[in-house]
């Protein structure tokens, strides 16, 4: 049942969230003529329109008394807030607001919240300790605010192929470079949050609160702060990415000193047949021995995954020469560019992608390295 934390109205305390909640109720409930008591949009600011709406409601419903609510004042537990609750339509009985905010929302469904929490807890693709924390976050968010959180589309463990398909406009992380690829991160947003627009109509938002962002940017940010108040503190204690990250993104570790490029190179180096190194940059590029002794730049992880590694016939000639047995201290055969066929290049590009596939299969051994 919607309730206020302090008095609203003439001589009231008029905390923003209490004013917004009372206003939203007065916007929703209609008088005998079928009109809302509050004639303006609800905004959390107490003024003459709110005063007039409270008095009109009290007059119609006879909720003032010498010892209770006086004209224009809504007290906690008083006759006016009780009557406001009584007259709310059935589908608005769960109006709610977070302290300090001015956007009223409808409580989520407890069964849905439990199902979402259970689904995260059972998601074997996520790191075991991490999924326990995220499940705890979903449960705590519902227990505290009656808001359902869930993992956004493609916001859980992402395969290397799914990572490769993401646009470079939205992520700088190629296949194997995202902590999503290792079950160490989730994009966890709002599961169909129903919030009341200024005119009292209900808007069902998406995981990212895109609709709210367009009309109430400050309130949009506050909803994420509300989530983070639980997510980033004990006992949940997960992390945001270092900087300029997405509001929706949470991960299992502090990445202040982590290099995702070097972390991937370390995994490739230990999991596959070739030696690998990362060259930090934007984007990261990678070097590999291709089974020889010298390291060659083979491009970005996205290029390697797409079998478009930046290898040349000259590189392959060097690699093949390095693999030749030594006769009198010299390679038995010195390979030249002309000796390398187009199919050799294609085969090596396929092999390099295979190294990534092997690394993905052994992703449980991935470690964040500086």
Partner 1 sequence: MKYISSSLSLMLLAALAGLAQSDFKRFAGAGGFNLGTGNPVRNEYPILLRLTEGGVVKNEIRLPMSAAAADQTVVEDGPRMRVGDPLRPSDARVYVSGEESSFVSTAFRQVSLPGQKAILIQQQGGFEHIKREHRLYAGQKGKLVLVWSASEGAGPTWSAADIVDADGDGTDEIILYQGFAHPSAAETLSVTAFAWNAAQGRFVKTVAPRSYSLQAGIYPTLAKARQARENAGECGANLWILRDPARGYCLAARTVRKQAAEEAVKMVRECFPAASFR
| 119/322 with CB nearer partner 1 | 119
User: Which string of x and - marks every residue 302-341 that binds partner 1 (by CB under 8 A)?
Assistant: ----x-x---------------------------------
CB of 101 to partner 1, least distance (A): 17
93 binds partner 1 (CB under 8 A): no
Question: Which one of 3-11, 85-93, 109-117, 276-284 is the stretch in contact with partner 1 (CB under 8 A)?
Answer: 276-284
Contacting residue, 1, 35, 143, 280, with partner 1 by CB under 8 A: 280
User: Which string of x and - marks every residue 145-184 that binds partner 1 (by CB under 8 A)?
Assistant: -------xxxx--------xxxxxxxxxx---xxxx----
351 binds partner 1 (CB under 8 A): no
Distance of CA 100 to the CA centre of its chain: 23
The C-alpha atoms of residue 141 and residue 304 are separated, in whole angstroms, by 41
| 100/153 with CB nearer partner 1 | 153
CB of 178 to partner 1, least distance (A): 6
Q: What is the number of other CB atoms lying within 10 angstroms of the CB of residue 168?
A: 11
State phi, psi for 123 to the nearest 5 degrees: -80, 95
The C-alpha atoms of residue 40 and residue 49 are separated, in whole angstroms, by 7
Residues 189-218 that bind partner 1 (CB under 8 A): 189, 206-210, 213-214, 217
260 binds partner 1 (CB under 8 A): yes
| 138/152 with CB nearer partner 1 | 152
CB of 241 to partner 1, least distance (A): 5
CB of 239 to partner 1, least distance (A): 11
The C-alpha atoms of residue 113 and residue 110 are separated, in whole angstroms, by 5
Chain contacts with partner 1 (rule: CB under 8 A): 152-155, 164-173, 177-180, 185, 187, 189, 206-210, 213-214, 217, 220, 224, 241-249, 255, 258-261, 280-284, 306, 308
């Amino acid at each position: 049942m919607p309730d206020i934390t302090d008095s609203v109205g003439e001589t009231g305390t008029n905390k923003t969230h209490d004013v917004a909640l009372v206003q939203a109720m007065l916007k929703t409930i209609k008088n005998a003529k079928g009109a809302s008591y509050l004639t303006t949009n609800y905004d959390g600011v107490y003024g003459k329109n709110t005063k007039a709406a409270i008095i009109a409601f009290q007059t119609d419903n006879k909720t003032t008394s010498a010892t209770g609510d006086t004209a224009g004042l809504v007290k906690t537990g008083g006759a006016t807030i009780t009557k406001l609750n009584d007259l709310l339509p059935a589908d608005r009985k769960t109006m709610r607001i977070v302290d300090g905010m001015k956007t009223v929302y409808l409580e989520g469904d407890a069964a849905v919240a439990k199902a979402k929490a259970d689904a995260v807890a059972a998601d074997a693709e996520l790191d075991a300790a991490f999924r326990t924390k995220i499940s705890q976050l979903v449960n705590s968010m519902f227990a505290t605010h009656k808001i359902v959180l869930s993992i956004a589309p493609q916001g859980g463990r992402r395969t290397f192929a799914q990572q490769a398909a993401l646009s470079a406009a939205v992520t700088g992380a190629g296949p194997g470079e995202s902590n999503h690829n290792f079950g160490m991160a989730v994009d966890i947003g709002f599961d169909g949050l129903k919030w009341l627009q200024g005119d009292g109509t209900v808007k069902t938002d998406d995981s990212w609160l895109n609709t709210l962002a367009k009309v109430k940017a400050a309130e949009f940010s506050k909803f994420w702060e509300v989530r983070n108040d639980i997510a980033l503190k004990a006992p949940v204690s997960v992390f945001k990415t270092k900087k300029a990250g997405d509001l929706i993104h949470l991960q299992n570790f502090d990445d202040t000193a982590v290099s995702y490029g070097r972390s991937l190179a370390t995994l490739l180096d230990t999991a596959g047949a070739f030696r690998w190194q990362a060259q930090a940059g934007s984007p990261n590029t990678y070097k590999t021995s291709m089974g020889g002794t010298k390291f060659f730049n083979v491009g970005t992880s996205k290029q390697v995954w797409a079998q478009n590694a930046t290898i040349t016939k000259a590189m392959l000639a060097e690699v093949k020469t390095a693999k030749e047995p030594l006769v009198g201290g010299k390679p038995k055969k010195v390979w030249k560019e002309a000796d390398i066929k187009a199919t050799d290049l294609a085969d090596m590009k396929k092999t390099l992608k295979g190294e990534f596939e092997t690394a993905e299969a052994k992703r449980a051994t991935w470690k964040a390295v500086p």
